[in-house]
A = this chain, B = another copy of it.
């Protein structure tokens, strides 16, 4: 990835693929077929596979974008919110963002998705912000002293499972229960 620039038609196709995929996956979840993504993007399946070797790779590319979007949100929260409430606000906002996007949900739950090209960088940037928020909460005495970014990921994965697999359940309640586990005893 990120070798020489794409030919202009290829570049345009790539954009259309990403847009089509984002729409379809966010709306109707992961079970949308590659064929349908290609159709909506106005390309053949072969083109799709030329850019993304597997369906999961396509999903991951989308998720990287969401990840970066949300890192920006997290940075804003870190800047604006007082140390006592920053982590709780972050968790709640993150949950809202995940709730509306089926692809993002999948990504939050699995480690595998995070192994694809370059995701590590995005993750690192995100982890840095979250860690800072956790640290300030700990300094303020409201966040569990041994909490780290991995724990944050674990907890968000749990909340996401409720959203994704238990449509009837109240995921906001799941968020509040999870927050109880993050607080200093």
A residues with CB within 8 A of B: 109-112, 144, 150-151, 153-155, 157-162, 165-170, 173-174, 177-183, 185
Contacts and interface: CB of A to CB of B under 8 A. Distances in A.
Contacts of A151: 173, 177
Give how many copies assemble into the complex: 2
Contact of A155 (B157, B177, B185): B177
A158 B150 CA distance: 15
Given A150-B169, A165-B109, A181-B179, A157 B158 contact: yes
A137 to B, nearest CB: 14
Nearest to A112: B165
Contact of A165 (B110, B155, B159): B110
